[in-house]
């Protein structure tokens, strides 16, 4: 039986630690795969505790939400004196 079918640490940690919230070194797949999954989780916990200690946690720099989508009725626009409201 081959162990190569087991996902690497990079793939396993993606669900619990998205790329956009990781420090630069944890964006390197080879660096992340040097850890076991448990070690990577401990690394994440220490990283987040340090951010909180420095006042830079998610509460300060949370992920922005997308602005609401606005739709406009079809209109004529000649790029000069008659402009569509969507402009």
Q: Are 77 and 84 in contact (CB under 8 A)?
A: yes
Domain residue ranges in the chain:
1-87
pTM reported for the whole predicted model: 0.56
pLDDT in tens, 10-50: 999 999 999 998 999 999 999 999 999 999 999 999 999 98
Start-end of H helices in 6-66 = 9-13, 29-33, 37-53
Q: What are phi and psi of 12, to 5 degrees?
A: -70, -35
Q: 14 to each of 2, 18, 41, 87, how far by Cα in Å?
A: 23, 5, 11, 39
């Amino acid at each position: 039986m081959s162990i190569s079918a087991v996902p690497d640490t990079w793939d396993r940690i993606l669900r619990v630690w998205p790329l956009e919230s990781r420090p630069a070194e944890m964006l390197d797949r080879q660096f992340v795969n040097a850890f076991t999954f448990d070690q990577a989780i401990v690394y994440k916990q220490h990283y987040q505790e340090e951010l909180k200690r420095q006042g830079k946690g998610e509460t300060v720099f949370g992920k922005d939400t997308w602005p609401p989508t606005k739709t406009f009725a079809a209109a004529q626009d000649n790029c000069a004196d008659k402009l569509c409201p969507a402009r």
